[in-house]
């Protein structure tokens, strides 16, 4: 297992089996690890949301 990246937060996702299987196929076709594929989708989703509703301001905890 690769070492954790210091600038990343580990999370746990619970996924529907069919969605997980399809995501694995897409990740393989895109030549990405599954985790990187999810990260890519989340990034694109946030970008789309901000395009629609404006920039989200993040306040450090």
| pLDDT score at 3 | 67
Confidence band of 8 (pLDDT split at 50, 70, 90): confident
Whether residue 33 has pLDDT greater than 80: yes
Torsion region of 2: left, alpha or beta (phi above 0 gives left; psi -120 to 50 gives alpha)? beta
Q: Which residues of 36-54 are buried (b: 16+ CB within 10 A; e: fewer)?
A: ebbeeeeeeeeeeeeeeee
Average pLDDT value for residue range 31-49 = 97
Confidence band of 1 (pLDDT split at 50, 70, 90): low
SS3 content of the chain, % helix, strand, coil (to 5): 55, 0, 45
| pLDDT score at 18 | 98
């Amino acid at each position: 297992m690769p070492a954790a990246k210091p600038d990343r937060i580990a999370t746990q996702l619970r996924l529907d089996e069919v969605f997980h299987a399809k995501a694995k196929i897409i990740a393989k076709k895109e030549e990405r690890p599954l985790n990187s594929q999810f990260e890519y989708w989340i990034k694109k989703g946030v970008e789309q949301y901000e395009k629609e509703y404006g920039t989200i301001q993040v306040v450090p905890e």
